[in-house]
């Protein structure tokens, strides 16, 4: 993806190599610069929103599904123990393994989990939906 520095390098190269008998309109460059700036701001807002959302997942139970390089699909369910921010990447630590936000299939509130389990999975009602667990640990 073209970033601001790449755009400036491209613009300088265009200015250095332009045909002076048919110069490019300055307004066109300014419009392109403004558009690039808006796109970068939107990306920053999107990244900030992703980080904020990830922070709300701490302590929740997440079901993840990840396709490995060998074609095998790994599914896991567990508490989100920590969130790691590295550049534009957001990773969740679940059962000692790091998963991307895109690996999330479902999020559960811990109140819906049987409190006696070490590897949580949501309690199901007779329709197969996750159901709330009452104080005695039953549905």
Q: What is the pTM for the complete model shown?
A: 0.59
Asked if residue 124 lies in contact with residue 131, where contact means CB atoms within 8 angstroms, the answer is yes
Closest CA to 62 of 91, 85, 39, 33: 91
- What are the residue ranges spanned by the domains of the chain? 4-51, 59-105
pLDDT > 70? residue 115? no
28-73 tens-digit pLDDT: 777 877 888 888 888 888 888 888 899 999 999 999 999 989 999 9
């Amino acid at each position: 993806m073209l970033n601001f520095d790449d755009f400036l390098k491209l613009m300088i190269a265009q200015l250095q190599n332009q045909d002076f008998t048919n110069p490019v309109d300055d307004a066109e460059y300014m419009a392109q610069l403004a558009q690039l700036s808006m796109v970068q701001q939107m990306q920053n807002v999107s990244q900030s929103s992703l980080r904020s959302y990830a922070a709300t997942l701490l302590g929740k139970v997440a079901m993840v599904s990840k396709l490995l390089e060998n074609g095998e699909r790994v599914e896991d369910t567990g508490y989100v123990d920590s969130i790691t921010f590295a550049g534009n990447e957001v990773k969740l630590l679940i059962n000692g393994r790091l998963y991307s936000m895109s690996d999330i299939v479902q999020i559960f509130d811990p109140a819906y989990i049987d409190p006696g389990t070490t590897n949580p999975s949501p309690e199901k009602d007779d329709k197969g939906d996750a159901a709330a667990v009452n104080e005695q640990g039953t549905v």
